[in-house]
Amino acid sequence: MENRSINLETDSSLSIVLSIGHEVLKTKEFSQGLDQLHHLGTSVSKHSFRVALLSVSLAKALHKRGISVDLTSLVRAALLHDFGILGRYEGKFYGIKSCCLFQHPKDSVKVAQSLFFNMTQKEVNTIASHMWPFSASLPCCKEAWIVNLSDKLVGSKEGLEGFYLYAKHRVSPKEGLPIWLRLQNRTIS
């Protein structure tokens, strides 16, 4: 894929994610994910975008300490890591539909490979291992560890915020949250 040259010291995390991730961001799957509830109060795609933003911020911090990261693999894998959830649920959490912790990383790899024939081993490992230690696949590269950590941090924050919202307002996940997501104008916060 073609990207303009990236400068980790001067470019913002947002501009880096938008530049490197443009092929993922324009897929119909990413649009679909904007409307699918995730972590109680956000959507699959907003979550994935936040994971990509935090991953790049961590990469920038590592860069300052002389540690280089494959930004293309990092951003692509972060944006694709939960595509296996799209259109399906396997369980319920506090009455809210949820996905399978163990299966969805494997499904995300399959969806990513169906969309992009040029997926690298690094990207595949990063997606497959993002649920470690809850799933068996171990992160085997820096990029995988970064996305794994970012997903935990972002997901935990979203889960707590969503649970608070759900508990406080008794919002119906089925009917209320799609409206809630649109009221936020799908902004990334």
The site for Fe ion (CB under 5 A) is made up of 82, 151
Q: Please give the sequence-ordered ranges of beta strands (E in DSSP) within the chain, or none if there are none.
A: 37-38, 42-43, 91-93, 96-98
What values do phi and psi take at 98, rounded to 5? Answer: -145, 170
> Minimal distance in Å, beta carbon 164 to Fe ion?
19
If the CB atoms of residues 59 and 147 are measured against Fe ion, the closer one turns out to be 147
Q: b/e string for 52-63 if b means 16 or more Cβ within 10 A?
A: bbbbbbbbbeee
If the CB atoms of residues 82 and 123 are measured against Fe ion, the closer one turns out to be 82
If the CB atoms of residues 38 and 142 are measured against Fe ion, the closer one turns out to be 38
If the CB atoms of residues 7 and 189 are measured against Fe ion, the closer one turns out to be 189
> Minimal distance in Å, beta carbon 106 to Fe ion?
11
Give the H or E element holding residue 70: none
Give the H or E element holding residue 64: helix 44-64
> Minimal distance in Å, beta carbon 130 to Fe ion?
6
Q: Are strands 37-38 and 91-93 parallel, antiparallel or unpaired?
A: unpaired
> Minimal distance in Å, beta carbon 153 to Fe ion?
11
